[in-house]
Amino acid sequence: MTGSVPARFSVAVVALCVCALTVGAVVPMTVGAGDNATIFYFEPSETEADAGETVTLELIASTHGDYAGDGIDTLSATVAYDPGVFSVADVEHGPMLAAGDSDAEVDGAVEIDDEAGTVTIDQERTPSGDGARATETAATITLEVAEDAPSTNETLEITDASAVLISDYPQAVVDREATISITETSGGDDPVAGFVAPSALIAVGAVLLIAVRRWG
């Protein structure tokens, strides 16, 4: 019995060490997943529009920087849409990359391919400084809905996104899509109204002609 005490103590120490190592490995991974990443998403994430109208969404970029406190220096994102339903009417660069420095500016470029249904946004912070650490609008995108668009739910998807820290290391990226509910507009009232009167006159004329022939 006396020999079992050290054995039990050794087992307890080993178990304690294993638990400590496990917690030490899991906790940084959990924290890192949220703190060391840039999240791209749309605001609003769900919206509605009629055929023939325009709809505007903000592309938001959110990051806390890396473990050393460095922010991002450049970002890019490609937004995919159905070219049979949408076309890009306008894209404006937002202030996200300039966050934290009143002297910083956003140097950006936009490439629109309405045939493929994509718009690509590339941005750089000038000067880089400590980089951007914020949750802010990266770009405002205005889409024009086709006049003949049917009633449907369309998805706006981020197919390719990146964020690079001032240390030139890429940061992990998480992206979320948006849904736009389209309502088809009916334009059938005017044509009906335009043809009701002539049709009625033709019908009345036919009846009168038959009556005249019958009683003539």
Task: Decide if 61 is inside a domain.
Answer: yes
Residues 6+ apart with CB under 8 A from 119: 78, 79, 81, 88, 91, 110, 111, 112, 113, 141
Q: 59 versus 201: which is more confidently predicted? A: 59
Specify the number of domains making up the chain.
1
Q: Are 149 and 51 in contact (CB under 8 A)?
A: yes
Residue 197: pLDDT over 70: no
Q: Residue 87 is encoded by which pair of tokens?
A: 């076309």
| Range of the structural domain that residue 55 is part of | 36-185
Strand, coil or helix: what is 82?
A: coil
Backbone angles phi, psi at 60, to 5 degrees: -100, 135
Backbone angles phi, psi at 116, to 5 degrees: -85, -20
Task: Decide if 82 is inside a domain.
Answer: yes
Q: 80 versus 11: which is more confidently predicted? A: 80
- Rounded Cα distance between 193 and 205, Å, is 20
DSSP string, 162-210: EEEETTSPEEEEEE--EEEEEEPPP--HHHHHHHHHHHHHHHHHHHHHH
Q: Averaged over 177-185, what is the pLDDT? A: 96
Q: What is the pTM of this model?
A: 0.71
Tell me if the bond preceding 127 is cis, omega within 30° of 0: yes
How would residue 185 be classed by pLDDT, with cut points 50, 70 and 90? Answer: confident
pLDDT for 24 equals: 44
Residue 161: pLDDT over 60: yes
Task: Decide if 92 is inside a domain.
Answer: yes
Task: Decide if 129 is inside a domain.
Answer: yes
How would residue 159 be classed by pLDDT, with cut points 50, 70 and 90? Answer: very high
Task: Decide if 180 is inside a domain.
Answer: yes
Question: pLDDT tens digits, residue range 92-148?
Answer: 999 999 999 999 999 999 999 999 999 999 999 999 999 999 999 999 999 999 999
Question: Which DSSP state fits 45?
Answer: S
Average pLDDT score, the chain: 81
Burial letters 74-110, b for 16+ CB under 10 A, else e: bbbbbbbbeeebbbbeebebbebbbbbbeebebebeb
- Rounded Cα distance between 71 and 130, Å, is 6
| Percentage above 70 pLDDT, the chain | 69
Task: Decide if 207 is inside a domain.
Answer: no
pLDDT for 4 equals: 52
CATH (domain of 57): 2.60.40.680
